[in-house]
């Protein structure tokens, strides 16, 4: 059993430290002292409670338990002395709130930092530098930049004020990069003019530089579209043909036109391979200023092409992207593994979803890639056109920013839809479970508390908005001046981009499953539970619509991708309400509207149910189904993909893709408990438990993580049930959708 110290480091649980602290307070008490036996009882009970939590316990939690037990003994004078001692110690600590945490980061013994982001390696200097700056930013945010009640609500887990480690700077969340503008009209990178590229491979190289620059000037995800690279295929085709014709002229030979065309296309394919390889390897190997590979999503949408020729060229790029991703990248041992980025999104549309469709082969290739490497994820054009309706009544299909953050439909001053070049200002998430438990099964009280929390979230979101107001375009030229988002003048503020729907503010929500269960003891899979869940979602949307109407700012409901926050919220709930079966008895709470990971439900029932909630989460949502190794069962993957097309806007399949560097095992690395009850990763073949000697890739919350997770998220990953069996009938045509 271990404890988490205030600086984030872990150490073994020591019952004597508890006894000594109580004994010191007891010795300073004149009246109402307790006996040594009672001190022993208090320490023993605290040890018992900590062991039942099945996780590392913070020092603050232990002190709260001690205080409660002293009060239970009726030793009120002693309790006051103990509280006074804690208060004096906190005053001493508050004189400098960052030193210990920064030192623990540098020495790599800060367990919270190690597990905060599953795509950051905390031993790397650039990551440590980012975390150190983040600690300073969080300290400024807590003490100066945010109202105290918002800070307290954040620390209690009532809300989560996202990315406080970047709040001191005038930075925003995520972007839909206008790569088309930057490539067609030129851009500036590090004060160097980058003109329109003259080949596909050069366009790909410039795209990776843009990705890196954008990632270093915001803290969220970004997305680019392969469609914006497609016009450069024709430019390369014409260039290759000119060069080849010059070669023929020099040789003085006569070659049939058909042969010329075939050779040009073969050379063109080699250039496409080279260009796509540039994007894949540059994105994987680049380290931005925050110490991680750019969190970038690559969008693959055939119907985005301007004409049939461009569509065919786009199809070639998509095919090569899928082939290379299916192959993977080599680790330091030279073994092909699954990379975390770029995330791929493939749009299912009328000419690629049915057998016999001209681009059906791409969907089959996507299915094979998903089975092996967990991407691409899938957007249904048919469903999205129904869900994303602009003020003119037209439906649109477009990519999210990063893993799930969707912009609201927008029409510019010329009446044209616009998505590329827009962004999200930031996120604040409400802990729905806390509202449910605070209401104590009284729905009237629930809605009263709900209203209060919405007002709290609204003020917190306004803090994000006000922090960005007045930001000069000079703060991030690549974003504001040179086309990634806009073409503002030097010295101009970004204020006009914060209003009118150009950008969004996200009201996140977490734990809908547990919230509903806490109120009526029904699951979202029960009809009564589903209806209450939908009612809560509608209320969230009503608040966003109200704020938007009053302020001309686009607020939008966002299904928060809890990573480290799932553990934080769970610990806060346990502290406030204790262990409640089915609600707080795990070290994580459920992401957004998702069905609980332990619920036995078929893949198709899960997607069908969650599609109703996804529609009510317009600012961000993604659903998934957990599947076994499907590499030998592509027909089953295709069946799920076709179901996604007909039923849900955005979904993914989660499989496993691991490798043990000690014994060469290529399969699923297991999660087990060590002697201290801590969840660790273990190779089932050789027993290796050294995380530095294994490659593990798991879907974290919309994107793939490869740097491991905190104990809450690890427990959630361990407890995921499969939603699809792998049994196929002898003719290989029919798959089972039964739950495993």
Q: Are residues 284 and 374 in the same domain?
A: yes
- Catalytic annotation present for 397: no
Q: Are residues 188 and 90 in the same domain?
A: no
- Catalytic annotation present for 117: no
- Catalytic annotation present for 702: yes
Bridge partners (DSSP) listed for residue 653 = 625
Rounded to whole angstroms, the Cα distance separating 212 from 140 reads: 27
Of the candidates 387, 422, 450, which is a domain's last residue? 387
Q: Are residues 84 and 230 in the same domain?
A: no
Rounded to whole angstroms, the Cα distance separating 529 from 57 reads: 33
Rounded to whole angstroms, the Cα distance separating 414 from 352 reads: 33
Q: CA-based Rg of the chain, rounded to a whole angstrom?
A: 27
Q: How many structural domains compose the chain?
A: 2
- Catalytic annotation present for 16: no
Domain of residue 12, residue span: 1-95
Residues 6 or more apart whose Cβ sits within 8 Å of residue 125: none
Q: Closest Cα partner for 333 from 660, 657, 690?
A: 660
Residue 321 lies in a domain: yes
692: which DSSP letter? G
Q: Are residues 196 and 88 in the same domain?
A: no
Cα–Cα distance list, 282 to 7, 122, 329, 629 (Å): 35, 21, 12, 29
Q: Are residues 223 and 369 in the same domain?
A: yes
Q: Are residues 349 and 226 in the same domain?
A: yes
Residue 162 lies in a domain: no
* Cβ–Cβ < 8 Å for 339, 707: no
Q: Closest Cα partner for 465 from 215, 167, 219, 148?
A: 167
Four-residue CA torsion sign, 278, 360, 348, 625: negative
Active-site residue identified among 43, 217, 405, 592: 405
Residue 287 lies in a domain: yes
Q: Give the pLDDT confidence score for residue 564 in this predicted structure.
A: 84
Residue 464 lies in a domain: no
Of the candidates 79, 95, 111, which is a domain's last residue? 95
CATH of the domain at 232: 3.20.70.20
Question: Global pTM?
Answer: 0.86
Four-residue CA torsion sign, 550, 554, 555, 556: positive
- Catalytic annotation present for 410: no
Q: Are residues 87 and 190 in the same domain?
A: no
Q: Give the pLDDT confidence score for residue 740 in this predicted structure.
A: 43
* Cβ–Cβ < 8 Å for 640, 653: yes
Q: Give the pLDDT confidence score for residue 113 in this predicted structure.
A: 52
Active-site residue identified among 1, 65, 171, 174: 174
Mean pLDDT for each 10-residue chunk of the chain (740 residues)?
A: 73 87 85 87 88 82 86 82 68 54 58 54 67 80 94 97 92 97 96 96 96 92 97 98 95 92 97 96 73 84 98 98 95 86 95 97 98 96 97 96 94 94 98 98 98 98 97 97 98 98 98 98 98 98 98 97 89 95 96 96 97 97 94 94 98 90 91 91 96 88 78 90 67 43
Active-site residue identified among 381, 563, 610, 652: 563
Cis status of the peptide bond prior to 64, with omega within 30 of 0? no
Of the candidates 72, 95, 118, which is a domain's last residue? 95
Q: Record the tokens describing residue 84, joined without a space.
A: 């006074």
Q: Are residues 58 and 179 in the same domain?
A: no
Rounded to whole angstroms, the Cα distance separating 700 from 705 reads: 6
Active-site residue identified among 558, 593, 624, 650: 558
Residue 355 lies in a domain: yes
Rounded to whole angstroms, the Cα distance separating 297 from 8 reads: 32
Q: Give the pLDDT confidence score for residue 332 in this predicted structure.
A: 82
Residue 401 lies in a domain: no
Q: Are residues 199 and 87 in the same domain?
A: no
Bridge partners (DSSP) listed for residue 555 = 505
Residue 187 lies in a domain: yes
Q: Give the pLDDT confidence score for residue 734 in this predicted structure.
A: 47
- Catalytic annotation present for 737: no
Active-site residue identified among 328, 426, 559, 702: 702
**Three-state secondary structure readout of 455-508:** HHHHHHHHHHHHHHCCCEHHHCHHHHCCCCCCCCCCCCECHHHHCCCCEEEEEE
Q: Record the tokens describing residue 648, joined without a space.
A: 């849900």
Residue 123 lies in a domain: no
Active-site residue identified among 424, 506, 518, 725: 424
Q: Are residues 191 and 86 in the same domain?
A: no
Identify each DSSP E strand in 331-376 by its residue range: 336-337, 343-348
Rounded to whole angstroms, the Cα distance separating 71 from 64 reads: 11
Active-site residue identified among 173, 236, 541, 688: 173
Active-site residue identified among 316, 369, 384, 401: 401
| Count of C-beta atoms within a 10 Å radius of residue 554 | 25
3-state secondary structure of 624: strand
- Residue 512: burial class (beta carbons within 10 Å; 0-12, 13-18, 19+): buried
Active-site residue identified among 374, 403, 537, 701: 403
- Catalytic annotation present for 563: yes
Q: Are residues 196 and 296 in the same domain?
A: yes
- Catalytic annotation present for 405: yes
Q: Position of tokens 């491979």?
A: 201
Rounded to whole angstroms, the Cα distance separating 651 from 622 reads: 5
Q: Are residues 371 and 237 in the same domain?
A: yes
- Catalytic annotation present for 247: no
Rounded to whole angstroms, the Cα distance separating 211 from 52 reads: 46
Four-residue CA torsion sign, 576, 578, 580, 585: positive
The terminus-to-terminus CA distance of the chain in angstroms comes to 33
């Amino acid at each position: 059993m271990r404890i988490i110290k205030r600086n984030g480091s872990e150490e073994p649980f020591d019952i004597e430290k508890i006894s000594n602290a109580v004994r010191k307070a007891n010795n300073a008490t004149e009246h109402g002292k307790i006996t040594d036996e009672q001190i022993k009882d208090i320490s023993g009970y605290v040890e018992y409670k900590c062991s039942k939590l099945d996780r590392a316990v913070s020092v603050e939690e232990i002190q709260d338990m001690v205080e409660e037990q002293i009060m239970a003994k009726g030793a009120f004078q002693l309790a006051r002395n103990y509280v006074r001692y804690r208060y004096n110690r906190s005053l001493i600590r508050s004189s400098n709130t960052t030193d210990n945490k920064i030192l623990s980061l540098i020495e790599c013994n800060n367990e919270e930092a190690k597990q905060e982001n599953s795509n950051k390696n905390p031993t790397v200097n650039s990551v440590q530098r980012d975390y150190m700056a983040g600690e300073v930013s969080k300290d400024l945010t807590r003490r100066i930049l945010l109202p105290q009640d918002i800070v307290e609500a954040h620390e209690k887990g009532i809300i989560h004020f996202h990315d406080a480690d970047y709040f001191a700077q005038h930075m925003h969340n995520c972007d839909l990069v206008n790569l088309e503008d930057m490539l067609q009209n030129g851009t500036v990178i590090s004060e160097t003019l980058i003109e329109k590229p003259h080949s596909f491979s050069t366009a790909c190289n410039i795209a990776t530089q843009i990705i890196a620059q954008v990632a270093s000037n915001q803290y969220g995800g970004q997305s680019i579209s392969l469609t914006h690279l497609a016009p450069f295929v024709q430019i390369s085709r014409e260039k290759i043909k000119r060069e080849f014709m010059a070669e023929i002229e020099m040789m003085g030979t006569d070659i049939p036109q058909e042969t010329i065309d075939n050779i040009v296309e073969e050379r063109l394919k080699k250039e496409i391979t080279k260009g796509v390889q540039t994007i894949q390897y540059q994105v994987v190997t680049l380290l931005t200023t925050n110490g991680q590979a750019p969190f970038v999503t690559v969008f693959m949408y055939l119907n985005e092409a301007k004409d049939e020729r461009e569509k065919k060229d786009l199809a070639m790029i998509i095919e090569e992207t899928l082939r290379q991703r299916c192959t993977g990248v080599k680790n330091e041992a030279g073994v092909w593994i699954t990379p975390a980025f770029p995330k791929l999104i493939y749009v299912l549309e009328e000419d690629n979803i049915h057998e016999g469709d001209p681009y059906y082969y791409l969907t089959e290739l996507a299915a094979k890639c998903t089975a092996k490497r967990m991407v691409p994820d899938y957007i249904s054009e048919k469903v999205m056109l129904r869900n994303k309706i602009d003020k003119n009544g037209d439906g649109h299909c477009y990519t999210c920013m990063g893993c799930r953050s969707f912009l609201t439909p927008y029409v510019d001053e010329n009446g044209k839809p616009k998505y590329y070049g827009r962004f999200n200002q930031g996120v604040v998430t409400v802990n729905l479970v806390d509202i449910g438990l605070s209401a104590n099964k009284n729905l009237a009280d629930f809605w009263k508390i709900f209203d209060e929390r919405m007002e709290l979230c609204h003020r917190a979101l306004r803090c994000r908005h006000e922090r960005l107001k007045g930001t000069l375009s000079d703060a991030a030229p690549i974003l504001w001046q040179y086309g990634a988002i806009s073409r503002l003048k030097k010295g101009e503020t970004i204020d006009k981009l914060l209003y009118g729907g150009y950008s969004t503010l996200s009201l996140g929500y977490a734990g809908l499953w547990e919230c509903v269960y806490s109120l009526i003891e029904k699951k979202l899979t029960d009809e009564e539970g589903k209806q209450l869940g939908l009612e809560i979602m509608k209320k969230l949307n009503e608040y966003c619509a109200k704020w938007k109407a009053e302020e001309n700012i686009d607020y939008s409901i966002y299904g928060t991708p809890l990573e480290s926050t799932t553990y934080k919220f769970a610990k806060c709930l346990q502290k406030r309400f204790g262990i409640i079966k089915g609600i707080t008895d795990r070290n994580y709470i459920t992401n957004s509207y998702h069905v609980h990971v332990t619920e036995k439900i078929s893949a198709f029932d899960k997607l069908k149910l969650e599609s109703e909630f996804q529609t009510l989460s317009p600012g961000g949502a993604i659903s998934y189904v957990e599947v076994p190794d499907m590499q030998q069962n592509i027909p089953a993957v295709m069946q799920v993909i076709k179901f996604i097309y007909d039923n849900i806007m955005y979904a993914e399949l989660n499989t496993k893709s691991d490798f043990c560097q000690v014994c060469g095992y290529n399969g699923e690395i297991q999660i087990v408990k060590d002697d201290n009850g801590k969840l660790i990763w273990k190779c089932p073949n050789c027993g290796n438990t050294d995380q530095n000697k294994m490659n593990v890739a798991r879907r974290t919350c919309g994107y793939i993580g490869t740097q491991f997770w905190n104990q809450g998220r690890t427990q959630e990953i361990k407890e995921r049930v499969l939603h699809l069996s792998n049994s196929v009938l002898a003719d290989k045509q029919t798959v089972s959708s039964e739950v495993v």
